[in-house]
């Protein structure tokens, strides 16, 4: 069975050499303790937890799933003990304020940890993972009493959190939320309604679960403008912080899912449950986006995690499994056949997985620096700086979530393909990765929703293309120093310059068409997002290749020469074999809406 190994060498390359996290941390108000030694200790400790505790439970969670019996939800064998070890290690509070029991370190360190946990065991990672958004939402919008009574035990991990958005009738369209919140004489609210698809909605890992819930006040405006946000604990919390009686929130059922079976996805019924409002009345959806953005970046990590895990499973198999002879002649004459890795198509699949995992990791780590700066601006009371970084991260978020989850799913499928028929059976664990990865393109907003957010809101409506111009300016700043170089760096830099110009022209053309045809944004958006993803990943790969080449040229990378050379060669593969897909997406994005919209709705039927 597949055993995860944390890719610490690649992580350190990005953290220390490509993205200069030591210099980045030195400029943060909460970065003083994030010394290279401290960061390395955290990486090593998280790797041990993931390799020795979480990874062995990945298949167990898939085989056993979660159970609901007599109103009680139980998690798979070993999950409870593993969660206790996670809490004892202080891992939940890594990046949360010291005043609530956290360690006060930059957010990015929590992301590094989450990537390793996600690759080792995504289903388990969802339990503490959903709590992160819950904590961030209460930190930003909760009253002093709510912060005092809830945050210490959420930050410690003793309690977990969820987000309860959708309902049976509404899916992504939260304007249709019907859950009601009735004001009570003591200032609390009684919430009644049903929420579905609630990840970690009920379980036996923690003594209390804190639900962040969207609901409507009496007489609230229709649509999204009339939604408020509430905290609803599984067990009511007293004024002294002590647990009281069981609240009127119960698990009606658990979903039987294609994957992530070890994660309890619940239907929750609220029957006049005691609730407390956070944020302002009728502005709950705005506050919820604090939670959603946290969750979306977390889901982007899932794309990287599954690409990495699938690659780790496929690579040793390709080196050990023998089939036929290489086209260019025998490579292993001592055996009756050559290893799969000698066949060009198998190498194509492995390199695609490697390029997605390592390119995606670089994209997420770049975005994490922005998130660090955003939270730093909050801590230092600099609202304009916060707004700038929030907008910058807002541009990254739909690309990371939409593109990386699609590519992570592709990498998972390629891992199965390397195994051939053996990949389709459960013995090797490859098909589990594909099943687990499938949900990533759906929850926290489907790829189509991310694409509309990117093109419709972030690019066209909010910035009139400015966000694209700013990012492509960064691309040009990197590439211009190497456009006249010979060899792979020169070729890749020239290709990136062309893509920067092309991206801006494409954006302008869509903007002009959308002014005449409102359907243009909807018909172009997914292709536009995928184009953006391929180009953004190309930028990340050029960053890595430039750094590797400089280290080799200076002699500082002599001890890791093979690693750096592999970086350059993988970047070449990406630019020659994967980046050209952007051309098809550009053509699709610029195609007129007619071919999408002309078929009469009545003709969408079975014959």
Q: Which residue has the tokens 């922005």?
A: 370
DSSP characters over 267-324: EEEEEEEEEEEES-TTBHHHHHHHHHHHHHHHHHHHHHHHHHHHHHHHHHHHHH-B-S
CA distance 278 to 168: 24
CA distance 374 to 390: 6
- As given in the structure block, the two tokens for residue 572 are 């070449």
- As given in the structure block, the two tokens for residue 237 are 């919390």
CA distance 549 to 80: 46
Q: In Å, what is the CA distance from 427 to each residue of 4, 257, 313, 430? A: 16, 20, 12, 8
Roughly what angle, to the nearest 10 degrees, separates helices 107-120 and 36-49? 20
Task: For residue 576, indicate whether it is catalytic.
Answer: no
Q: Which residue has the tokens 């020795």?
A: 52
Q: In Å, what is the CA distance from 89 to each residue of 55, 161, 192, 351? A: 17, 19, 37, 36
CA distance 13 to 564: 9
Query: Which residues partner with 182 through β-bridges?
Result: 190
Which entry of 115, 431, 444, 572 is annotated as an active-site residue?
A: 444
- As given in the structure block, the two tokens for residue 578 are 């994967």
CA distance 304 to 297: 11
CA distance 321 to 330: 15
Q: Which residues contact 360 (CB under 8 A, 6 or more apart)?
A: 300, 303, 304, 307, 404, 407, 408, 537
CA distance 495 to 541: 12
- Indicate which residues carry an active-site annotation: 444
């Amino acid at each position: 069975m597949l055993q995860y190994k944390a890719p610490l060498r690649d992580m350190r390359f990005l953290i220390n050499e490509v993205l200069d996290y030591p210099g980045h941390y030195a400029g943060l108000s909460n970065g003083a303790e994030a010394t290279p030694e401290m960061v390395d200790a955290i990486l090593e400790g998280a790797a041990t937890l993931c390799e020795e505790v979480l990874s062995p439970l990945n298949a167990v969670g898939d085989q056993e799933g979660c159970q609901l019996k007599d109103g009680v939800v139980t998690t798979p064998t070993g999950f409870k003990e593993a969660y206790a070890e996670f809490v004892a290690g202080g891992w939940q509070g890594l990046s949360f304020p010291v005043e609530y029991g956290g360690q006060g370190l930059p957010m990015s360190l929590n992301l590094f940890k989450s990537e390793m946990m996600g690759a080792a065991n995504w289903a388990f990672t969802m339990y503490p993972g959903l709590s992160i958004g819950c904590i961030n939402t209460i930190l930003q919008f909760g009253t002093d009493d709510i912060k005092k009574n809830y945050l210490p035990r959420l930050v410690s991990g003793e309690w977990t959190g969820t987000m309860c958005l959708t309902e049976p009738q509404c899916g992504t369209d939260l304007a249709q939320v019907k859950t009601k919140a009735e004001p009570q004489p003591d200032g609390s609210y009684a919430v009644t309604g049903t929420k579905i698809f609630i990840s970690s909605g009920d379980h036996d890992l923690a003594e209390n679960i804190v639900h962040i819930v969207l609901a409507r006040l009496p007489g609230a405006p229709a649509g999204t403008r009339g939604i408020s946000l509430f905290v609803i604990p599984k067990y009511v919390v007293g004024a002294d912080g002590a647990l009281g009686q069981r609240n009127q929130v119960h698990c009606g059922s658990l979903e039987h899912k294609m994957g992530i079976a070890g994660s309890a996805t619940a239907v929750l019924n609220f029957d006049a449950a005691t609730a407390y409002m956070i944020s302002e009345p009728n502005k709950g959806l705005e506050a919820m986006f604090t939670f959603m953005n946290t969750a979306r970046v977390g889901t982007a990590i899932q794309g990287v995690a599954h690409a990495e895990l699938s690659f780790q499973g496929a690579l040793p198999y390709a080196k050990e499994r023998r089939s036929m002879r290489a086209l260019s002649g025998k490579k292993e004459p001592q055996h009756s056949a050559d290893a799969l890795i000698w066949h060009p198509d198998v190498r194509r699949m492995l390199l695609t997985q490697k390029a997605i995992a390592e390119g995606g990791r670089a994209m997420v780590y770049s975005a994490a620096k922005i998130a660090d700066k955003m939270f730093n601006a909050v801590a230092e009371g600099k609202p304009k700086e916060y707004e700038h970084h929030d907008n910058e991260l807002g541009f990254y978020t739909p690309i990371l979530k939409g593109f990386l989850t699609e590519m992570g799913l592709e990498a998972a499928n390629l891992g199965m393909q390397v195994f051939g028929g053996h990949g389709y059976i459960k013995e090797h664990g490859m098909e589990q990765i594909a099943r687990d990865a499938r949900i990533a393109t759906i929850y926290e907003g489907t790829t189509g929703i991310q694409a509309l957010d990117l093109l419709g809101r972030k690019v066209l409506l909010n910035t009139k293309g400015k966000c694209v111009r700013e990012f492509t300016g960064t691309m040009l700043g990197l590439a211009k120093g190497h456009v006249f170089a010979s060899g792979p760096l020169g070729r890749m830099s020239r290709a990136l310059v062309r893509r920067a110009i092309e991206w801006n022209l494409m954006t302008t053309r869509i903007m002009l068409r959308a002014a005449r045809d409102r359907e243009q944004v909807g018909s172009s958006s997914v292709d536009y997002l995928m184009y953006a993803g391929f180009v953004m990943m190309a930028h990340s790969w050029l960053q890595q290749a430039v750094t590797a080449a400089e280290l080799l040229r200076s002699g500082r990378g002599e001890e890791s020469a093979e690693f750096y050379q592999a970086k350059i060669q993988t970047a070449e593969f990406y630019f020659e074999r994967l980046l050209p897909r952007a051309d098809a997406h550009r053509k699709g994005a610029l195609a007129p809406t007619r071919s999408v919209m002309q078929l009469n709705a009545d003709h969408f039927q079975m014959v």
